[in-house]
């Protein structure tokens, strides 16, 4: 028998009762005697599995239920219905062996002790997670090298920049060498260079340790570069589970061609290749159906004022916007991905 | 993983938790000093009761007797106080309790280490009061015998545990209500009146004393104070230690159950 799935989610649901009242004093007084509650279905009947060592991107608009799902998988929230198993453990039982095998990094929250240097948090985690001296020294050495922690470990956390803090957060979260990483917006607020550092670090950790990664991020570049597979949820329901290129193809079947001009460009000649998305004296972006791509590119390369040409997929943000604004589920390639509603 | 393994992990980790807790307490030393100034009510009581006892003793209390009693009260309060209710209430409401729940050690254990780690600093800050009490007011009163000292220390530990577990119990109400601090205020009113914090319990009418002895408040202040000031001796100490530790066990069980059942309702909003 092979090792258990890293993540196994079956018909998972979570509902909240939320107290609701209009603003104002009168409403506040009324609510003392008659409280109105609204039921929020944060996650509904969600099912998916993840194999050990996979890197999976968890996508969805704000309020889709991504963080709620991650919190249920980490054992912080108790599901209303359904079942989750992480490497065979039931998360809500929060057994010590389970908690030692996972980590949850939330980009907007911190586990570092605010007024003490990160080194103190590392020491505390070593004791709590029972990391041996040898493993601690080795892992910390590795993390220090990968994340360049040397100088910042001994400064009080409150004096670190956001990027420095996030690097230390990652180190604190990984000192016990977890096999499953739940990363909720790990690059939020970081500059582009730091996003790249964090992204590369996550990839290296995954490859070096064979750890499973479940990642949510508003930065589509994080997901595109890190996650061969994406799970899309919207309003708590699964919308898509499969690889990213198939999702993009199904939602946005056109390609984008970016052109750079040398000399005066003829707009009409360019427009004959496809729909113009953007056009100025030096550049243009055209949208072209995939089936017409070969012919259109041939036409464009024949234009004397075209100096350079790049073929790209439409920006992922745009694809996602289109997916979530559509009233019905997307029609993804059946062989590459699974549409939740049709599965 | 067995309960024995869990216990072994706690025992191994606890010294580190205490060390880190002490480092945190030192980082917050100015805030702690201000907070300690807000718990100097026994000194106000001392001034009031000293004025009352100026012409004649009140019960067995002379001015000097009141001074010894209230300085001992101040010390016991500093050594046994717990502010967990504020922290727990805030962490449940803001969702930051999540970070504790993710660790393979019970959150009440980490809270307890943070609380205990601050005690050496609090003790150092109240050292002048202790010196006045021991050297000026009751020289030779402490320690009277190793047994009395042991009983006194056990009573201090029991008082801290009752406070800690009660604060954990009241703090856990925030899992159910929007805030638990109003309930804490109720506890504080009863504590002020019935623990011996503001008025020595001997000065209450005899008819009330039986009820007061049966309530938990006496065992967090008056009981240890009476051991250290020599009012309580021998068998009386043993009997009351039994009652105190019964409260420790009761409060501990209630706090653990309330926390465990509360965690099931935890929403972790924003956390």
Domain spanning A7-247 has what CATH number? 3.40.50.300
Any idea of the CA torsion for A136, A138, A144, A146, to the nearest 10 degrees? -130
Calculate mean pLDDT across residues B178-206.
Answer: 89
3-state secondary structure of A242: strand
Mean local confidence (pLDDT), A245-249? 84
Q: Using one digit for the tens of pLDDT, what is the confidence trace for B237-255?
A: 999 999 999 999 999 999 9
Q: Are strands A338-339 and A55-59 parallel, antiparallel or unpaired?
A: unpaired
Distance (Å, whole) CA A274 – CA A308: 17
| B187: contact with A, CB 8 A cutoff | no
How many CB atoms within 10 Å of residue A306?
21
Backbone angles phi, psi at B139, to 5 degrees: -60, 135
Note the pLDDT of residue B29: 76
Sheet order of strands, A275-279 included = A275-279, A283-289, A254-261, A306-312
Q: Of B89, B159, B102, which is closest to residue A102 (Cα–Cα)?
A: B102
Three-state SS sequence of A168-188: HHHHHHHCCCCCEEEEECCCC
Q: Does pLDDT of A335 surpass 50?
A: no
Helix (H) or strand (E) holding B172: helix B146-172
CB under 8 Å to B80, separation ≥6 — which residues?
B156, B159, B160, B163, B220, B221, B224
Residue A339: pLDDT over 50:
no
Q: Do A126 and B16 touch (CB under 8 A)?
A: yes
Contacts 24+ apart (CB under 8 A), A277-284: A283/A258, A283/A259, A284/A258, A284/A259
- Residue among B1, B15, B264 whose CB faces A78 most closely: B264
- Residue A134's pLDDT is 94
* Count of helices and strands (H, E) across chain A: 12, 14
Phi and psi at B146, nearest 5°, equal: -55, -35
Percent of chain B residues past pLDDT 70, beyond the cut: 94
Which of A61-65, A114-118, A205-209, B108-112 has the least mean pLDDT?
Answer: A61-65
Across A73-99, average pLDDT = 94
Q: How does the average pLDDT of chain A come out, rounded? A: 86
Share of chain B above pLDDT 90, in %: 48
pLDDT over 50 (residue A343): no
Asked whether the predicted pLDDT for residue A336 surpasses 60, the reply is: no
| Backbone φ/ψ region at A156: left (φ over 0), alpha (ψ -120 to 50), beta | beta
Helix (H) or strand (E) holding A202: helix A192-209
Separation of CA A278 from chain center:
29
In this prediction, residue A91 has a pLDDT band, given cuts at 50, 70 and 90, of very high
Looking at the predicted structure, is the pLDDT value of residue B38 above 80?
Answer: no
Q: Which segments of chain A are extended strands (E)?
A: 7-20, 36-50, 55-59, 81-86, 102-106, 180-184, 212-216, 229-234, 237-243, 254-261, 275-279, 283-289, 306-312, 338-339
* The predicted structure's pLDDT at residue B139: 63
In angstroms, the separation between the Cα of residue A90 and the nearest Cα of chain B is 14
Backbone CA torsion sign across B204, B208, B209, B215: negative
Strand, coil or helix: what is B47?
helix
Task: Summarize the confidence of residues A6-11 as an average pLDDT.
Answer: 95
pLDDT score of A340: 43
Contacts of A123 in chain B (CB under 8 A): 16, 19-20
> Positive or negative, the Cα torsion across B120, B122, B128, B134?
negative
Q: Exposed/middle/buried for B102, CB within 10 Å: 0-12, 13-18, 19+? A: buried
- Interstrand relation of A212-216 and A180-184 (parallel, antiparallel or unpaired): parallel
Residue A230 has pLDDT above 90, yes or no: yes
Strand partners, A276: A286
- Of the candidates B13, B27, B101, which has its C-beta nearest A94's C-beta? B101
When pLDDT is averaged across residues B204-225 and rounded to a whole number, the result is 93
Residue with tokens 């060592």: A53
Q: Which of these ranges, A56-60, A109-113, B115-119, B216-220, has the smallest mean pLDDT?
A: A109-113
At B269 the pLDDT is: 57
Higher pLDDT, A51 or B149: A51
How far is B264 from chain A, CA to nearest CA, in Å?
6
Whether the per-residue pLDDT at B3 is higher than 90: the answer is no
Most A CBs within 10 Å, among B259, B268, B270, B271, to test the A interface: B268
Under the banding of pLDDT at 50, 70 and 90, the label for residue B141 is low
Checking DSSP bridges between strand A102-106 and strand A212-216, what pairing results, if any?
Answer: unpaired
**Res B85 pLDDT > 90:** yes
Contact A291, A255 (CB under 8 A): no
Tens digit of pLDDT for each residue in A218-229? 888 888 889 999
| Residue environment code for A147-180, b if the CB has 16+ CB neighbours within 10 A, otherwise e | bebeebbeeebeebeebbbbbbbbbbbbbbbbbb
> Residue A203: its pLDDT value, please?
93
In this predicted structure, what is the pLDDT of residue B40?
77
Residue B30 has pLDDT above 80, yes or no: no
pLDDT band of A21, cuts 50, 70, 90: confident
* Cβ atoms within 10 Å, residue A21: 12
Measured CA to CA, the distance from residue B175 to residue B183 in angstroms comes to 13
Q: Average pLDDT, stretch B250-261?
A: 96
pLDDT at A334 exceeding the cut of 60:
no
Q: Which structure tokens are listed for A269? A: 């000649």
A42, B231 Cβ separation under 8 angstroms: no
Residue A251 pLDDT: 81
A260-311: pLDDT as tens digits: 998 888 899 999 988 998 999 899 999 898 888 889 999 998 998 999 999 8
Architecture of the domain defined by A253-312: 2-Layer Sandwich (3.30)
| Confidence tier at B34 by pLDDT (50, 70, 90) | confident
User: How far from the centroid of its chain's Cα atoms is residue B225's Cα?
Assistant: 12
Q: By mean pLDDT, which of A317-331, B96-110, B180-194 is the weakest?
A: A317-331
Q: Identify whether the C-beta of residue A230 lies closer than 8 Å to the C-beta of residue A240.
A: yes
> What number is the average pLDDT over the span A198-213?
92
pLDDT band at residue B142, thresholds of 50, 70 and 90? low
Count of positions (residues) in chain A? 343
Q: Would you call B12 an interface residue with chain A, using a CB distance cutoff of 8 Å?
A: yes
**If pLDDT is split at 50, 70 and 90, which confidence band does A327 have?**
very low
Question: What does the block give as tokens for B78?
Answer: 């500093």
Does B18 lie at the interface with A, CB-CB under 8 angstroms?
A: no
How far apart, in whole angstroms, are the C-alpha atoms of residue A305 and residue B49?
Answer: 98
Q: Cβ distance A73 to A9 under 8 Å?
A: yes
Question: Is pLDDT above 90 for B51?
Answer: no
Per-residue pLDDT, A23? 77
pLDDT bin (cut points 50, 70, 90) of residue B157 is: very high
- Domain residue spans of chain A: 7-247, 253-312
Going by pLDDT thresholds of 50, 70 and 90, the confidence category of residue B268 is: low
Of residues A76, A115, A123, nearest to B28 (C-beta): A115
Residues in B touching A111 (Cβ below 8 Å): 99, 102
Residues of A in contact with B104 (CB under 8 A): 96-97, 99-100, 128-129
Is A96 in Cβ contact with B104 (below 8 Å)? yes
* Closest CA–CA distance from residue B237 to any residue of chain A (Å): 38
pLDDT of A228: 93
H-helix or E-strand spanning residue A318:
helix A316-325
pLDDT digits (tens, 9 = 90+) for A122-135: 999 999 999 999 99
Structure tokens given for B186: 């109720």
> How far is the alpha carbon of A110 from chain B, nearest alpha carbon, in Å?
8
Tokens representing residue A205 in the block: 């950790």
Using CA atoms, how far apart are residues A271 and B149, in angstroms rounded to an integer?
Answer: 94
Dihedral of the alpha carbons of A234, A235, A237, A241, in degrees to the nearest 10: 10
CA-based nearest distance B95→chain A, Å: 10
List of residues 6+ apart from B243 with CB closer than 8 A: B213, B219
Would you state the pLDDT for residue A68? Answer: 92
C-beta separation of A98 from A104 below 8 A: no
Nearest to A99 among B13, B20, B102 (CB): B102
């Amino acid at each position: 028998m092979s090792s258990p799935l890293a993540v196994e989610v079956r018909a998972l649901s979570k509902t909240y009762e939320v107290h609701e009242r209009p603003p104002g004093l009168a409403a506040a007084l009324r609510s003392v005697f008659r409280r109105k509650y609204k039921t929020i279905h944060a996650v509904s009947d969600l099912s998916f599995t993840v194999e050990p060592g996979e890197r999976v991107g968890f996508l969805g608009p704000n309020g889709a239920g991504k963080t709620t799902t991650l919190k249920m998988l980490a054992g912080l929230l108790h599901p209303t219905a359904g079942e989750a198993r992480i490497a065979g453990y039931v998360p809500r039982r929060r057994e010590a062996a389970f908690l030692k095998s996972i980590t949850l990094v939330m980009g907007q929250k911190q586990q570092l002790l605010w007024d003490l240097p990160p080194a103190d948090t590392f020491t505390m985690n070593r004791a709590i997670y029972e990391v041996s001296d040898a493993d601690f020294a080795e892992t910390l050495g590795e993390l220090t090298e990968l994340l360049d922690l040397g100088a910042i470990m001994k400064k009080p956390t409150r004096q670190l920049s956001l990027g420095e803090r996030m690097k230390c957060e990652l180190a604190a979260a990984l000192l016990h060498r977890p096999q499953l990483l739940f990363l909720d917006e790990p690059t939020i607020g970081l500059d582009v260079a730091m996003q790249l550092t964090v992204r590369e670090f996550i990839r290296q950790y995954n490859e070096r340790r064979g750890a499973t990664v479940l990642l949510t991020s508003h930065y589509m570049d994080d997901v595109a570069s890190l996650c061969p597979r994406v799970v899309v949820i919207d309003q708590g329901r699964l919308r898509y589970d499969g690889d990213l290129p198939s999702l993009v193809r199904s939602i946005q079947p056109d390609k984008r061609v970016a052109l750079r001009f040398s000399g005066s460009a003829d707009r009409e000649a360019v427009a004959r290749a496809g729909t113009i998305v953007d056009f100025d004296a030096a550049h243009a972006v055209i949208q072209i159906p995939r089936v017409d791509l070969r012919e259109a590119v041939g036409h464009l390369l024949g234009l004397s004022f075209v100096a350079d040409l790049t073929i790209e997929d439409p920006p992922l943000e745009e694809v996602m916007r289109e997916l979530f604004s559509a009233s019905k589920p997307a029609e993804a390639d059946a062989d590459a991905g699974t549409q939740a509603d049709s599965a | 993983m067995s309960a024995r393994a869990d216990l072994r992990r706690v025992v191994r980790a606890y010294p580190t938790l205490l060390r880190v807790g002490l480092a945190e307490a030192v980082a917050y030393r100015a805030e702690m000093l201000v907070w300690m100034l807000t718990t100097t009510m026994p000194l106000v009581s001392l001034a009031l009761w000293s004025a009352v006892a100026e012409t004649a003793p009140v019960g067995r209390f002379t001015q000097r007797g009141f001074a010894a009693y209230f300085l001992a009260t101040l010390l016991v309060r500093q050594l046994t106080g717990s502010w967990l209710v504020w922290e727990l209430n805030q962490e449940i409401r803001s969702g930051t309790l999540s970070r504790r729940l993710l660790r393979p050690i019970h959150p009440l254990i980490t809270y307890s280490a943070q609380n205990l780690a601050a005690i050496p600093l609090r003790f150092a800050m109240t050292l002048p009061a202790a010196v006045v009490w021991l050297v000026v007011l009751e020289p030779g009163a402490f320690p009277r015998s190793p047994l009395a000292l042991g009983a006194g220390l056990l009573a201090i530990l029991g008082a801290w545990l009752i406070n800690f577990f009660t604060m954990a119990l009241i703090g856990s109400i925030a899992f159910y209500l929007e805030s638990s601090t109003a309930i804490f205020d109720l506890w504080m009113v009863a504590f002020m009146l019935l623990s011996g914090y503001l008025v020595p319990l001997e000065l209450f009418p005899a008819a009330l004393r039986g009820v007061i002895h049966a309530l938990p408040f006496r065992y967090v202040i008056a009981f240890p104070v009476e051991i250290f000031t020599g009012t309580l001796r021998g068998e009386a100490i043993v009997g009351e230690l039994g009652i105190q530790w019964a409260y420790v066990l009761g409060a501990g069980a209630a706090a653990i159950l309330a926390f465990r059942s509360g965690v099931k309702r935890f929403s972790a909003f924003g956390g």
